[in-house]
Amino acid sequence: MATLSRSRERYAQRQRLSNAVAAEGRRTWRQLDARDVTGSWRSLVPQLLITLSGAQLAAAQGSDEYVGAALAEQGIQADPIAEVVPRRLAGRASDGRQLDSLLDEPRITTLTALSRGATVPRALASGWAELEMILRTQIADAGRVADGLSTFARPGVGYVRMVQGKTCGRCAALAGKWFRSNQGFRRHPRCDCVHIPSRENVAGDLTTSPRRYFDSLDQADQNRLFGKANARAIRDGADPIPVMNASMRHGGVYTTASGRRGVSPVPEQIYQQAENRADAIRQLRLYGYIR
């Protein structure tokens, strides 16, 4: 049975980074002047932008070493044909836009709430919730994309999704399934799931079973994370994967990073649009993601 120690260590490092940046973001948000939301926020954003960009870089670094070590744990030797360039994943949002544009959204959320009659504390709370989601998601995405790039650079290697903590049913339904390296990593805001690089013929040895995860939860968490009807069906013997797949077909919230275009395409756009693997490698080199 393959171990997951490298993947769990990678996740723990990323969580520590995310928690530190969220704490810094909270301190920054508390400095916001509700009498001048726009002016005060725009004076605070530059330093937060530096902090978040640095965290993205830190999350993306070490991907080549991590992927190699995680594969070695499974007895897989797969040499990369290129190496990841972490700095290309820092300083912009995972959907391709400029990061400062994304960091303006908490201001807009706050002003929108105020315009609709919310109290100042409630409006500020909604803005902070937006900011925290942005900070945590962008750090996680930078790390995930870097790991995905390093995986893609190793012919024949794909990934298995590893869920973390009390994750939602949609993520759990994808746990343990092997994906080709050019398939986008489906996630939702604040998603904590990570890649486990692997080959299809050994992926089944990884302990990432949706059923085991479901059974590890108490009934209240099963209902909360999977939905009452879905959880009941699974408790009655249904397979979690088709149950949650059916639920996602009726209005899921997953995205990939292909919604907006920036100055250059993000890696997932390249995977989707490339004619073949060689073309994808060429474009990833062209836009500086690997070298």
pLDDT digits (tens, 9 = 90+) for 100-110: 999 999 999 99
CB 171 within 8 A of CB 165: no
Instruction: Give the start-end residues of each E strand in 181-227.
Output: 194-198
Highest-scoring range by mean pLDDT, 34-38, 174-178, 241-245: 34-38
pLDDT in tens, 251-286: 444 344 444 434 578 888 888 889 998 999 998 989
Among the listed residues 50, 30, 56, 70, the one whose alpha carbon sits nearest the alpha carbon of residue 146: 56
Average pLDDT of the chain, as a whole number: 84
Confidence check: pLDDT of 133 > 80: yes
Q: Which two tokens stand for residue 80?
A: 């990369």
Among the listed residues 158, 45, 197, 182, the one whose alpha carbon sits nearest the alpha carbon of residue 108: 45
Dihedral of CA atoms 228, 125, 24, 142 in degrees, nearest 10, equals 50
Q: Which two tokens stand for residue 273?
A: 């649009």
Domain spans, the chain: 1-155+275-290, 160-248
> In sequence order, which residues have a C-beta less than 8 Å from that of residue 196 and are 6 or more positions away?
4, 7, 70, 159, 160, 161, 162, 206, 208
Instruction: Give the whole-angstrom CA distance, residue 193 versus residue 206.
Output: 15
CB 196 within 8 A of CB 7: yes
Q: Which helix (H) or strand (E) holds 123?
A: helix 120-152
Instruction: Give the whole-angstrom CA distance, residue 142 versus residue 24.
Output: 18
Q: Which residues of 30-47 are buried (b: 16+ CB within 10 A; e: fewer)?
A: eebeeeebeeebeebbee
pLDDT in tens, 77-116: 999 999 999 999 999 998 889 999 999 999 999 999 999 9
Instruction: Give the whole-angstrom CA distance, residue 188 versus residue 200.
Output: 25
Instruction: Name the phi and psi angles at 150, rounded to 5.
Output: -65, -35
pLDDT at position 192: 67
pLDDT in tens, 161-213: 777 666 667 777 777 677 776 665 566 665 667 768 888 655 555 545 677 77
pTM: 0.76
Instruction: Give the whole-angstrom CA distance, residue 5 versus residue 207.
Output: 11
Instruction: Give the whole-angstrom CA distance, residue 147 versus residue 67.
Output: 7
Amino acid found at 100: D
